[in-house]
Structure 1
Amino acid sequence: MRGSAAAAAATVTRVAQRVVAPSAATPGGALPLSWLDRYPTQRALIESLHVFKGRADAAVAPAAAIERALAAALVSYYPIAGRLAERGDGGELVVDCTGEGVWFIEATASCSLEDVDYLEYPLMVDKDELLPHPTYPASESHPEDSLILLVQVTQFACGGFVVGFRFSHAVADGPGAAQSINNPS
């Protein structure tokens, strides 16, 4: 199955979601943001998708390996494990270093990466299916805009996988987010 037929038949199923906390204790407290980063337009989430071919000899599932590495990286990059919060009389935006962690979603896709042309444009899978969008029980309130990093790992039938990130622009611009992803320690 290739091309649009595969895309039409492709389904992405989110199988688990959880918060991944730092693997060791981290400093607490509030970190101020620059005046530019406090500007309301900076509250957006930067989105990116990263495609990886599978390895037949992979001993650990991609989601498990990424989750473990993420927990370790959050020790050094501890502000990312916090929450955006408003402080003071003026409601100034800060990073509250709570150590709560980042939102992590595991998903599976019913097709191979080859079936969807390795996500070359035009995309044959809706990007929102590959980006993390948490769901919460109706009884809980977790405003998504207070999260700094959300991650989704989608494993395809071929063993390849896609890592989708949504990263708070108030905390890091594109190059800053890429640095924390590419150099986790």
Structure 2
Amino acid sequence: LRAKAFGFNVIFYDPYLPDGIDKSLGLTRVYTLQDLLFQSDCVSLHCTLNEHNHHLINEFTIKQMRPGAFLVNTARGGLVDDETLALALKQGRIRAAALDVHENEPYNGALKDAPNLICTPHAAFFSDASATELREMAATEIRRAIVGNIPDVLRNCVNKEYFMRTPPAAAAGGVAAAVYPEAPECARP
């Protein structure tokens, strides 16, 4: 949808969406992947990865794309056969590609030497909604610590055993007396 703001004529293929959604969004629907690939100057992938679409972009589908087309994948790395894409970029069959995901990360495959490739860090989760949720989760954990409770999730705690058996003020080096007013006088700075 955002591509429409740049004047793109947006077409899409999705066998799972109900009919009519294209009209409500002002998009053009095609009913086969082959039609989508043949008609598109830029193919952007926005789908989950499953057993039916692993390496959806492969030697066969790249040959169905317009010569010189662009490919964007911000969905799942396994949707694209990296070796085939690298070859298509080197041959000029695909003009350029932009990838936010790779099948194996950190990436060290055939695409590392491919021309006309932009790779960005895998940050697909980031959105306004996820940023708000992250802030709310952080505030909840801070609130939990302020009232003297142990944070729910200690995934990254390197000394969890020590943390669990040490009073909060001592764990903070005595600095937490203002946060934990019930801390003994000797634990206060």
TM bucket (normalised to shorter chain) is under 0.3
TM-score norm. by structure 2 comes to 0.20
* Rg (Cα) greater in structure: 2
TM-score norm. by structure 1 comes to 0.20
Structure number with higher relative contact order (C-alpha < 8 Å, ≥ 6 residues apart): 1
Query: When you count helix as a share of all residues, which structure comes out higher?
Result: 2
